[in-house]
Structures are given as structure tokens and as C-alpha cells.
Amino acid sequence: MTSQDMRSAPATSAAGAGTSPPGPDGADEREKRRAARRSKWYQRDAKWSPYAFISPFFLFFAAFGLFPLLYTGWASLHRVSLHSPTEMEWVGLHNFTRLLQDEYFWNSLSNTFVIGIISTVPQLLMALGLAHLLNYKLRGSMFFRVAMLTPYATSVAAATLVFAMLYGRDFGMINWGLGLFGIDNIDWEGGSWTSQFAVATIVIWRWTGYNTLIYLAAMQSVPNDLYESAALDGASRWQQFLHVTVPSLRPTILFTVVISTIGSTQLFGEPLLFGGSPSGGASNQYQTLGLYLYEQGWTNFHLGRASAIAWMMFLVLIVIGLVYFLVAKRLQKSH
Amino acid sequence: MHGRTRMARLTPRLSAVTAVVLSATLLAGCADDGGGSSGKDGEVTLSVGVFGVFGYKQAGLYDAYEKLNPHIKIKENSTERNEDYYPALLNRLSANSGLADIQAVEVNNINELATIQAAKFVDMSKADGVDGKDYLPWKWDQAKTEDDKVIGLGTDIGPMGICYRKDLFDKAGLPTDREEVGKLWEGDWAKYVDTGEDYMEDAPKGSSFTDSAAGLYNGALSSHAKKNYDEDGELIYKDSKAVKESWDLAMRAVDGKMTGKLKQFDTSWDQGYANGTFASVICPSWMLGYIKEKAGPKNADQWDVAPAPKPANWGGSFLTVPEASKNKDEAIKLAAWLTAPEQQAKLFEKQASFPSSTKALELPAVKSAKHEYFDNAPIGEIFSDAAKDMPTAILGPKDQIIGEQISNGILSVEQQGKSPDSAWSATTKKIDDVLDE
Amino acid sequence: MAVLTSATPKEEAPGEGDGKRRTRTRGKAGRHLYAGWFTYVVLGFFTVGSLFPLVWTAIAASRDNARLAETPPPFWFGGNLGSNLQAAWTDANMGKALINTVFVAGTVTVSTVLFATLAGFAFAKLRFRGSNILLLLVIGTMMVPPQLSVVPLFMAVAELEWTNQLQAVILPMMASAFGVFFMRQYLINALPTELIEAARVDGAHSLRLVWHVVFPAARPAMAVLGMLTFVLAWNEFFWPMIALTQDNPTVQVALTGLGRGYIPDQSVIMAGSLLGTLPLLIVFAVFGKQIVGGIMQGAVKG
């Protein structure tokens, strides 16, 4: 048994067995046994240590991640009220089928996409441009980098509070500034495009600097000779950016797109605090999926519905994740 | 305790943070503050669960009671907003644990509890020293269950008046004397809107007649007895005369461009006070302090208060004692004491909470009270009169959420220019969805 | 974050090495150009945009309610900063909140980084049954909306009677799927497999391997993950709001207590907002260079 073990684990036993010096039979036996024990230990170690390494994470994950996920899945098949969360009435897929005809659901879904796009696209484009500029030889570059990262340190609550004041209709600074150009006061919160724009700017403000640094880092790892040969070919700065920088950054760009997509699908704090209510405006003009989930669960007390919405969000993200995966594979192949 | 929790949101943004989530929902569901406990030597600690600022502590009432009853210690647990407090209370009730010895309940929720959870509360009408006749009849009845059990004792109420700015009224060619102003709309909310039309004809630049159409809706609706529910507890808001009339009035006001298009308790609403952008606001008694603070010394001598077209109530609370309380007898005594006329009068003096006790309303400290900031308006008289003639409003379990949705509907007409019809149908649709009809 | 993707770098991550390299290469190759005035104008514009909301928070915090309602809005500091900060400090139980938050964010950071490094290493370099499925599970978890787990989490916390205790906030944040994924992506390239094999041949058992090989290799990414986690934990408000109360708050929870008074004071609210952000801002100002360098290094390698 022992010897078999040793043979079947040559890589690990080699060290132990190989170093044992020849000696008296008894000692050799002992040494052999010790080596065997050791190798057994190693084998067990090799086999089980991965599980040991992941177990702390999975222990917490099971308790605080998986359990809630499954529980919510179970709850989504029931009619549950916040009045008495333990009393569940089985309704099958009703909560899901009802979503299909639920205009508020579709409204919040489309709001989520619109806000997602108008926050992600300009944000990443600006980050790309800024990273390009920061990549020049530049005085005070560290100052610029740190300054642009400060919004990242600001909490959603603090950021939204100040933006909501700046966007005030009658006495906000933005309308005051526009007023200098003869533009009438805009009811940012009341309008649908304006409110979505306002919420998007909060997201843009918080994340542009962070993404800039990510891009900058990626840009700095683009090999010099690519630029040099492009310069030799007479490419202008802009052409170099377009034909050297951007293609080299493709994986990074794709990644930031996905992370931003996940973030904007789960968008919650900004729209909630912007108007101060989970309805996301008087006619839900900036209610996102996360907000709708919250309204159903904690204002209307329909926990089953809220759970179903949560699972729909989950599904949307999985689809996005799959798309990302496929595109990434494509990219890898084309390289 | 104050009605500002009504459909209002206190500092919407910040408190939304709080709300963020069942915050309390559950938070309290089993938070640290369990029920009171009995210590050694017969010492009893009573816990009182309230939302917002009830003012008992601030007015020194707990201290006074502890002095009178040396074996009692009182501990108050306060949750900022009723929107957080109430779900938490529901959760504790269904779990039968984590309840305080006394739980405050807002007027918008008292009916729901009296309807579905009556068994969980002590019948306060049978408590020693409590006499239903001491309270305003409509207030007393609001906490009554079908079988005449009374689950809560009235604390304060929120009789409404109209707060107005004399300078703006004057510039628009309207009278400024509070009696004359009151006459303008006496007896009919429609006259208030008529006055608004007059005002707008000659309105000072940059000002509107009233702050918000939803505020007008709320005021007009509150003067009706039958609002969202009928006597049998049926939901009738879609065909309710009160809802229809009040909605139409609000629409007329929007149409006449006489509203400031503001959301009450929003930051811009506050700023409207500071800048005098609207000339009047429908104000329950507890709102006067708010206006004073927000309008500030800059606008002193401008504000006054006149009677509302019809008596109506906005806000107010009850004290209940859950059956699960570990110190039921002592808790009942304390609740009765806190809501007794003398204490209500004291609370009015210190915290401007308007008494719900008829006896307290007769006390000189209340009856002859004046408010300095509002040009020494006789608020005691104005609000007492309103309190006495108030209709016994029929409440229902979902009044609050219906009110919120209708406010949103009105706001969508006011701010976004939706047509009243489409706003109404969108609103009813949303309410149906929320109520799961 | 970009760890996951960035193509294998063809050269060392530069950090601030631009200048030196410039001497080597002549010509107009991209990054070696000196910035023109236009660059400074654009960067200046965005710097102002990044800083302005924060500066204005401070301005608003130094004024009073009445001034905040006037037009034009204030552009410079007023005299009430001290009193507003003091009001916010006492109202919001800020002293305790700061201590609590440092403790929470610190604990969460240390354990997240540790757990994520261990698990990330296992997923990156060790072969074991079920690893693919488990990894997929981890990735899937990142997509779960956080709002979803609140109800069951709360019930669990309630069952354990942890409400209003810090562990109720700390424990759920310790399992960071993003962290595991982050470390895995980093270690896949940053930790050569031969190194592990060599250590094994030398007879190192797994714990020693982790201590002497994995941790040193993972250090840059650990630092980045640590910073990301700390900022995240500091600013987390959704779950703490449910689990804690004003008696034992974190900073974000404490801030929400500011509206509690009878009449909310906007300038005090802004002061509180400033108090909650200031510690992180100071850290950024002092260690900005390291943080920026860290994020970039973590991003490039891999």
C-alpha cells in the first residue's frame, strides 16, 4: 500500500526517497516509512490543500452569498409580504409571468439601459482620451492623476447629495450658470431625459478617473516599437492613437465595458438619493431596475415580486456575461 | 409624531438613505431594544418606541413621570422616519418579540393595525383614568376596532390652516388681514383656488399662489369624511367624490399656473420659503415651526395664518401598548399619563404638538396661544376651532400609499405637463398594481 | 480591475519611468511627446470638474441654510464651517462612527485580501476536482444584485441576534467574489508555475508554499485589492443601514441620522457629508502617489 502510494506519486516522493542515504536495514526501513508517511502527507496535501485554500471564502460565500441567492429564488415563487416574511403562499411562476406584462418593469429596464449607455459610453471615451493625454510627458502628472481619482473616494451618498443640490431647479448652481447664457431654468429632476442625464453625470463623475488610470496603465505597457514604426510610417498623433493605442487596449476596453455594464445594471444608490424616493420621479422617469426592486419590496411590501425582479436582473447580467465571454474568445482568436 | 411623516418625506434625500432598506424594517425586527425589563427591588424599565421627534423627552415629561413614580425608568427608542418605523413595528408584531412597552402609531397606520392586528394590542379604553369623552370624538374613534376595542390613545393632531405671506398678498391686491383673508375662501376649497386665480392676475413677478398642487389635494381631501374607503372598509377611491373633487381642484390649480410645482419637504420647497416664491401654503399646526425655520429671520413679519376653507386634519399619532409587553400594567399607566390633558398642554407649549384632548384644548395655555413669527396669530383659537369641527374621517389600511401615488400623479401633470386624464389612469393603474388588485 | 484583461505586457510596468525612456527613443512615438498647452487646458478642466463638487460640499458646509437658498449660490467659504462640523459631529455620533468604520473596513480588508489570495491562488494554479464549476459559481456571484440578499441576510442576522453589532456588517462583506476573481487573474500570469513546482520539489508543503512563494508574488495585487476593498467597505451603506442603528453606526449610517432633527439643516448635512469623506480624501492626498501607482501596477501586470 505504502509503496504503491509512493510509486503513484513520483513527483512528490522523489525528494524524500532520493535523499535518504543508504544505511542499516532497520534505519532504512524507518527512513522508508517516514518517507512514505511524508509522501502520503504530501499527496493528501496536494489533493486537499486546494479545498483548504478556497474553503474560507466558500464558507462565507455559502452563508452570506449562496444562501440568500437561493432563498430569494425560492421566495420569488411565492407571494410573500413584508408584513410577515415567513408566511409564503406558493404561486409558481406567477411573479415572473406578471413581469412580462408589467409596464413598470419594462420602464425600469429601459431606463436602466438608457442611463447605463449615457453614463458608460461618455465615461469610457473620456477616460480613454484623458489617459492618452496623461500619457504625454507632462508636468504635475501625478497631481492630475490623484485629483481625478478623488471622486472615486467619495461615497455614493455624499456625491449624490451634492449633485442633487447643484441640479436644483430654482436655486441650483447649474441652472444659475445656464441662466447666465439666457437659458431658462431646467427642471432636472422632473423631466425624463434631464433626470436620466443628471443621474448619469453622477456615475460619470465618480468613475471616469478610475477608468482613466486603468487605461493609462494599459497604454504604458504598449511596446514602444509599435509607436516608432508607426511614426516612421508617417502616422500622425491621432493616427497613432487610433491604430496603435486603441487596438492594443482592446481587451482592457472590453473589460471596463463589462464592469461598467454590471455596475449600471445594478444602479441603485444614485437614483434613489437623487430624488429621495424609490419611485424614481413622479412618473418613474428615472426608476432603475434596482430601484423598482426596492420599491416593490420595501414600499409596497411585495417581497415575492422583488425577488423575481432580482432574479431577472441576475439573468440579464448572465446574458451580458455570456456575450462578453464570446466576444473575448473571438478577440483572443483574432490575435 | 407629526404628520410631516404623512405623505411627506422629511429631507427626502437624506432620509431616503435611511430608508434605504427596510432599514428598520427589520432592523428593529429584533434590534437591541427589546421590551422593558424588571430589575431588582421592583424597579421597572419601560421602553417607549417612537418615530421622529415626539418631544416627551425634550419637554421633560419622562423626568417628571420618573419623579412621580420612583420605581420607573423610561427609555425611548426613536426611529427617524415613520416609513422605517412602521414596517419594523409590523415585523415585531408578527414575531411577537422585540416590542417596546409602548409603541407610537401614526394616524395613517392606526387603521391597518386596528383592522388586522387588533388582538395584539391592549384595549386602552378600559385603562384606569382614561375616559373617551376627554378626547376629540373623531380622534378616539380612529383607534377603535370593529368590536369597540380602542387600541391607542390619541397624542396630538394636525388641524390645518392656511399660512400666507402678507407682502405678496398685498402686492397682488388681496387683503392681508387674517380675518378678511379667511373670509376669501371660507367654507369651500374651490374658493381658495378662485383666490389663486385672482392672485395670478396680478401676481408679483416670480411668485405663485400656492406651493404645490399635491398639497392642495391633500388639504381638500382631508376635509372629507369618506376618502379612499367607505364605511364598510371597501376601497372606493376611484369613484370617491372626495378624491374626484380634490383631484379636479388640484388640476384647476395647475391649469391656472398658480402652483410653485414643488414637492413638499424637498430641498427646493425649503428654498421656496427662504425666497418667498409662493404666497400661501396649506399648513397643519405642526408645520408652523418648520416654516419659521425655513423662511428664517429674513422673512419675519411676512407670514400670517388664517383658517382653512374647511376644517381638516393632517397627521397626529397614538400611543399603544402591545399585549406582548412585559410590563403591561405600568405601560398602560404611562401611556394614559402621557396623553392626559395636562401633559398634552405641556407638550403643546414646548413642542407645539396640538392636543387631541378636548380638555387640553380648553386650557388657557392652549386656547389663547399666539405665534410670534406669524404676527402673533391666535393659533390656539384657529386650530382649536378647526379641531372641533373636524369630520370623523374614515381611514383605511392603504391610505398612505394611495396618497403617495396620487401625489406623484399630480406632480406628473404639474411638472411634466401630462394631461390630467392620462395622469389619472396611470395613477389608478399603479395603485392597482401596488395593492395587487 | 483590468488585471483580468490586459494583454501580457511586453515590458515592465513603467510607473513614472517616462522621462528616462525618452532619452532612448527619439521621434514622435506616442507617449514621449511633451504635452502642449491644449493638453494642460483639457486636463485642468477635468481636474476642476473632479474636485469642484467636493470643494462645493465644503463651501456649503461653511454656510447656513438661508445662504444656500439664495442665488447666485455661494462660491466661497463662509464662517460656519466650525459650528456645522461640530453640529454634525455630535448629531451623528461621528466619533464612534469613525472608530467603527476604521475597524470594519480594516477587518474586511484584511480578511478579504487573505481569503481572496488563497482562493485565487487555488483557482489559478492548483488542479482539483470541481474547480471549474466552483470558479463559475464565483463569477456568477459577482452578478448578483446586492439588493437581492438583504432579506435573507437580515433574517439570518436576526436569528443570530447580531443586529446592531459590527460583525453583522463585517462577516457578509468578507466573501468577495470579485476579490477571488481579481487575484486569480493576477496570479495566473504573475506566479510562474515552475516556481511552485520547484518549491514542491524542495519539499515545501502547501502552507509554506503560500507563505514563501504565493504571497510575495501576489503582493502588488494584494495591495490594490486591499485599497479597493477598503474604499468600498468605507463607503458601503446599503447593508450597514439595515443591520446597524444610530447607536452603533458606521460613518455612512451615521450620516443618515443627520436629517433626524425636527427641521433638517442643509449645511449641517453637507458638513456631515464632508466629515464622512474627509478621512479618505486625506489618505488620497497623502498616499495618492502610491495608490495611483498601485492601481496601475495591479492593472498592468497579469
Q: Which domains does chain B have, with CATH numbers?
A: 3-158+315-388 (3.40.190.10), 159-313+393-435 (3.40.190.10)
Residue B369: CA count within 13 A, CB half-sphere: 27
Separation CA B354–CA B365 (nearest Å): 11
Q: C65: Cβ–Cβ under 8 A, 6 or more apart, which residues?
A: B270, B274, B293, B294, B296, C265, C266, C267
Is residue A116 within 8 A of residue A267, CB to CB? The reply is yes
To the nearest whole Å, the CA of C151 is away from the closest chain A CA by 8
- The answer to whether the CB of C221 falls within 8 A of the CB of C40 is no
pLDDT above 60: residue B357: yes
Contact of C272 with C265, CB cutoff 8 Å? no
Q: Give the pLDDT band (50/70/90) at residue B332.
A: very high
Chain C environment of B289 (Cβ under 8 Å): 262-263
> CB under 8 Å to B379, separation ≥6 — which residues?
B161, B285, B288, B305, B369, B370, B371
**Position with higher pLDDT, B235 vs A38:** B235
Least confident of A122-126, B411-415, C131-135: C131-135
Tell me the three cell numbers of residue A305: 415580486
Q: Which amino acid is at C228?
A: L
The 3-state secondary structure of chain B, one letter per residue = CCHHHCCCCCCHHHHHHHHCCCCHHHHHHHCCCCCCEECHHHCEEEEEEEECCCCCCCCCHHHHHHHHCCCEEEEEEEECCHHHHHHHHHHHHHHCCCCCCEEEEEHHHHHHHHHHCHHHECCHHHCCCCCHHHECHHHHHHCECCCCCECEEEEEEEEEEEEEEHHHHHHCCCCCCHHHHHHHHCCCHHHHHHHHHHHHHCCCCCCEEECCHHHHHHHHHHCCCECCECCCCCECCCCCHHHHHHHHHHHHHHHCCCECCCCCCCHHHHHHHHHCCEEEEEEECCHHHHHHHHHCHHHCCCEEEEECCCCCEEEEEEEECECCCCCHHHHHHHHHHHCCHHHHHHHHHHHCCEECEHHHHHCHHHHCCCECCCCCECHHHHHHHHHHCCCCCECCCCHHHHHHHHHHHHHHHHHHCCCHHHHHHHHHHHHHHHHCC
Residues of A within 8 A of C205 (CB-CB) are: 41-42, 45
Q: Give yes or no for residue C17 having a pLDDT over 60.
A: no
Residue type, C216: P
A276 touches chain C (CB under 8 A): no
C-alpha torsion angle, residues B118, B124, B126, B132 (rounded to 10): -110
- When scoring C23, C101, C147 by the number of chain A Cβ atoms within 10 A, the one with the most, hence best to mutate, is C147
Q: Which grid cell is A241?
A: 492613437
Residue of C nearest to A224 (CA): C29
Chain A residues with CB-CB distance to B433 below 8 A:
102, 104
Which pLDDT does position C76 carry in this prediction? 86
Across the B:C interface, residue pairs with CB atoms under 8 Å apart total 96
Query: Are the C-beta atoms of B233 and B111 separated by less than 8 Å?
Result: no
Give the residue with greater pLDDT, C129 vs A15.
C129
Each domain of chain C, given as residue ranges in start order, spans 91-300
Q: Among partner residues B12, B275, B412, which is closest to A283 by beta-carbon distance?
A: B412
Give the range among A246-250, B126-130, B275-279, C201-205 with minimum mean pLDDT: C201-205
The confidence band for A141, taking pLDDT boundaries of 50, 70 and 90, is: confident
Beta-carbon contacts of B89 under 8 Å, excluding residues fewer than 6 positions away, are: B28, B49, B99, B103, B105
User: Residues B302, B167: contact at Cβ < 8 Å?
Assistant: yes
The verdict on a CB contact (< 8 Å) between A82 and B20 is: no
**Location of C-alpha cell 464570446:** A326
Quick one: what percent of chain B has pLDDT higher than 70? Answer: 88
Q: What is the pLDDT of residue B73?
A: 92
Residue A31 has pLDDT above 80, yes or no: no
Distance CA A299, CA C155 (A): 18
Nearest residue of C to residue A273 by CA position?
C256
pLDDT at C164: 74
pLDDT at A113: 93
Give the least confident one: A309-313, B284-288, C84-88.
C84-88
Instruction: Name the residue among B281, B316, B267 with its Cα closest to residue B10.
Output: B267
Q: Which band of pLDDT confidence, cut at 50, 70 and 90, is reported for residue C263?
A: low
- Inform me whether the pLDDT recorded for A134 exceeds 60: yes
| Nine cell digits for residue C51 | 474636485
pLDDT bracket for residue B71 (50, 70, 90): very high
For residue range B17-49, what is the model confidence (pLDDT) as tens digits?
333 333 333 333 333 333 444 445 678 899 898
**Could you tell me how many helices (H) and strands (E) chain C has, helices first?**
15, 0
**Is residue A8 over pLDDT 80?**
no
Nearest to B14 among C161, C258, C262 (CB): C258
Residue contact B408–A285, C-beta within 8 A: no
Contact status, residue C163 vs residue B32, Cβ threshold 8 Å: yes
Highest mean pLDDT among A25-34, B52-61, B365-374: B365-374
Q: Tell me how far apart the alpha carbons of residues B308 and B216 are, in angstroms, rounded to a whole number.
A: 11
Lowest mean pLDDT of A185-199, B299-313, C171-185, name the range. C171-185
A279 and chain B in contact, CB less than 8 A? yes
Q: Which of B2-11, B307-316, C189-198 tops mean pLDDT?
A: B307-316
| Cβ–Cβ contact B115 with A under 8 A | no
User: Please, which pLDDT band fits residue C258 given cuts at 50, 70 and 90?
Assistant: low
* Cβ contact, residue pair C71, A254, below 8 Å: no
pLDDT value, residue C225 = 84
| B11 neighbourhood in chain C, CB within 8 Å | 259, 264, 269
Nearest to B36 by CA among B327, B383, B412, B384: B327
- Mean pLDDT for A154-161 is 86
User: What HEC string does B289-305 produce?
Assistant: HHHHHHHCHHHCCCEEE
Inter-residue contact C58 to C77 (CB < 8 Å):
yes
Query: Can the peptide bond before residue C72 be classed as cis, meaning omega within 30 degrees of 0?
Result: yes
Q: What is the mean pLDDT of chain C?
A: 77
- Could you give phi then psi for residue A95, rounded to 5 degrees? -60, -30
Of C130, C137, C192, the C-alpha closest to A47 is: C130
CA B329 to chain centre: 29
The burial class, CB within 10 Å (0-12 / 13-18 / 19+), for B381 is middle
pLDDT, residue C279, reads 87
Q: What local confidence, expressed as pLDDT, does residue A83 receive?
A: 66
Q: Which residues of C touch B (CB under 8 A)?
A: 65-66, 68-70, 150-151, 154-155, 158, 161, 163-164, 237-239, 241-245, 247, 252, 255-264, 266, 269
Residue C32: the pLDDT is 55
| Residue type, position B195, single letter | T
Cross-chain Cβ contact A278/B16 below 8 Å: yes
CA distance B126 to C27: 96
Is the pLDDT score of A18 beyond 60? no
**What's the CATH number for C91-300?**
1.10.3720.10
Please, which residues 135-174 of chain A have a Cβ atom closer than 8 Å to chain B? 157, 160-161, 164-165, 168-171
Reported confidence tier of residue A237, pLDDT bands at 50, 70, 90: confident
- The reply to whether A213 touches chain C by the CB within 8 Å rule is yes
CB contact under 8 A, B268 and A168: yes
List chain B residues with CB under 8 Å of C250. Answer: none
Chain C CB contacts of A61 below 8 Å: 138, 141, 175, 177
| Contacting residues of C for B260, CB less than 8 Å apart | none
Reported confidence tier of residue C220, pLDDT bands at 50, 70, 90:
confident
Residues in chain B: 437
CA atoms of B298 and B280, how far apart (whole Å): 17
Q: Which chains are within 8 Å of B by 3+ CB pairs?
A: A, C
Angle between helices A156-166 and A173-180 (to 10 degrees): 40
pLDDT at A316: 87
Give contacts of C152 with chain B, Cβ < 8 Å. none
B10 reaches A (C-beta below 8 A): no
In the predicted model, what is the mean pLDDT of residues A73-96? 82
> In the structure, what pLDDT confidence band is assigned to residue A35 with cuts at 50, 70 and 90?
confident
Which helix (H) or strand (E) is A90 found in, with range? strand A88-90
Q: Do you know the residue count of chain C?
A: 302
Asked whether the beta carbons of residue A298 and residue B426 sit closer than 8 angstroms, the reply is: no
**CB atoms B87 and A82 under 8 Å:** yes
Q: How many CB atoms lie within 10 A of CB B257?
A: 14
| A298 vs C172 pLDDT, higher one | C172
Is pLDDT at C260 greater than 50 in this prediction? no
pLDDT in tens, A270-284: 898 888 778 888 889
- For residues A76 and A306, what is the distance between their CA atoms, to the nearest angstrom? 7
Assigned superfamily of A98-334: MetI-like (1.10.3720.10)
Q: Which of B9, B271, B423 sits opposite A277 (nearest CB)?
A: B9
Q: Given a cut of 50, is residue A137 above it in pLDDT?
A: yes
CA distance A173 to chain B (A): 13
Residue with cell 451615521: C254
Q: Please, what is the average pLDDT of chain B?
A: 84
Question: Does A259 sit within 8 Å of C29, measured CB to CB?
Answer: no
DSSP 3-state percent helix, strand, coil across chain A (nearest 5):
75, 5, 20
**Contact between C262 and C176 (Cβ < 8 Å):** no
Residue A228's nearest CA partner among C29, C34, C32, C23 is C29
Cβ contact B15–C259 (<8 Å): yes
pLDDT of residue B40: 53
Chain B residues whose CB is inside 8 A of the A195 CB are none
Other CB atoms within a 10 A radius of the CB of residue A323 amount to 12
Which segments of chain A belong to CATH 1.10.3720.10? 98-334
Q: Which residues of A touch C73 (CB under 8 A)?
A: 171-173, 176
Counting Cα atoms < 13 Å in the Cβ hemisphere of A305 gives 25
Residue B15 · residue A276 · CB < 8 Å: yes
Task: Tell me if ipTM is over 0.90.
Answer: no
Whole-number pLDDT of residue A28 = 75
Which of B72-76, B209-213, C241-245 ranks highest by mean pLDDT?
B209-213
CA distance C249 to C275: 14
Mean pLDDT, range B292-310, rounded to an integer: 89
Query: According to the model, what pLDDT value does residue B69 have?
Result: 93
Q: How many cross-chain Cβ pairs, A to B, lie less than 8 Å apart?
A: 95
CB spacing of A274 vs B13 below 8 angstroms: yes
Long-range own/partner contacts, residues A38-43 (CB < 8 A, 24 or more apart): A39/A5, A39/A6, A39/A9, A39/A12, A39/A13, A40/A2, A40/A5, A41/C205, A42/A9, A42/A12, A42/A13, A42/A16, A42/C205, A43/A5, A43/A9, A43/A12
d(CA B251, CA B245): 10
Least confident among A48-52, A273-277, C143-147, C226-230 = C143-147
User: Which residues of C fall within a CB distance of 8 Å from A149?
Assistant: 284, 288, 291-292, 295
Residue C207, pLDDT score: 78
Q: What is the CA radius of gyration of chain C?
A: 24
Please answer yes or no on whether A64 and C297 come within 8 Å at the CB atom: no
Contact C172, A93 (CB under 8 A): no
pLDDT at residue B300, as a whole number: 84
Q: Is the pLDDT of residue B143 over 50?
A: yes
Comparing CB atoms, the residue among B21, B277, B433 nearest residue A298 is B21
Q: What is the mean pLDDT of chain A?
A: 82
Does C155 sit within 8 Å of B30, measured CB to CB?
no
Overall pTM > 0.90: no
The per-residue pLDDT for A19 is 40
- Scanning every residue of chain C, which has its alpha carbon at the shortest distance from the alpha carbon of B266? C264
Q: Would the pLDDT of B184 be above 70? A: yes
Strand, coil or helix: A36: helix
How far separated are the first and last CA of chain B, in Å rounded? 31
Q: Which chains have 3 or more CB–CB distances shorter than 8 Å to chain C?
A: A, B
Weakest-pLDDT range from B209-213, B346-350, B433-437: B433-437
Q: What is the pLDDT of residues C22-63, one digit of tens each?
A: 333 334 444 456 667 888 999 999 999 999 999 998 998 888
Cα C119 to chain centroid distance, Å, stands at 20
> Cβ separation of A153 and C118 shorter than 8 Å?
no
Higher pLDDT, C145 or B203: B203
What pLDDT shows up at residue B326?
87
Cβ atoms B315, B106 nearer than 8 A: yes
Q: What is the pLDDT of residue B26?
A: 36
Q: Nearest 10 degrees: CA dihedral of A203, A207, A209, A215?
A: -130
Residues of B in contact with C151 (CB under 8 A): 22
A153 interfaces chain C, CB cutoff of 8 Å? yes
Q: Count the Cβ atoms, other than its own, within 10 Å of residue C54.
A: 21
Task: Please list, in sequence order, all residues whose beta carbon lies within 8 angstroms of the beta carbon of residue C274, skipping any fewer than 6 positions away.
Answer: A158, C57, C58, C61, C85
